[in-house]
């Protein structure tokens, strides 16, 4: 996996219990749909709490997306 840490535009689903599910994001001006979230966990880096999502697209492309709780920003961390 290649380390990127690029901010991305994201469409996500927030349910009434507060669970976040990434749905689709834009990378290099093309949409990428998240087919499956393999796992997710929280990390704390320099005081910033992030939720990390390890996702699959088209059965083989793996992505790591991060959602920063304080700034409400999404990042494509690894591809």
In the chain, where the domains are located: 3-78
What pLDDT tens digit does each residue of the chain (79 aa) get?
Answer: 788 999 999 999 999 998 999 999 998 899 999 999 999 999 998 889 999 999 998 888 899 999 999 999 999 999 8
Whole-number Å distance between alpha carbons of 41 and 8: 19
Give the CA distances from residue 59 to residues 49, 55, 67, 71, in Å, rounded to whole numbers and listed in that order: 29, 10, 23, 31
pTM of the model: 0.89
């Amino acid at each position: 996996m290649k380390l990127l840490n690029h901010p991305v535009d994201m469409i996500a689903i927030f349910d009434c219990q507060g669970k976040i599910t990434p749905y689709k994001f834009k990378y290099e001006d093309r949409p990428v749909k998240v087919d499956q979230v393999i796992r997710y966990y929280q990390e704390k880096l320099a005081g910033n709490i992030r939720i990390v999502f390890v996702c699959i697209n088209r059965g083989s492309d793996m992505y790591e997306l991060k959602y920063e709780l304080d700034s409400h920003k999404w990042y494509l961390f690894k591809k």
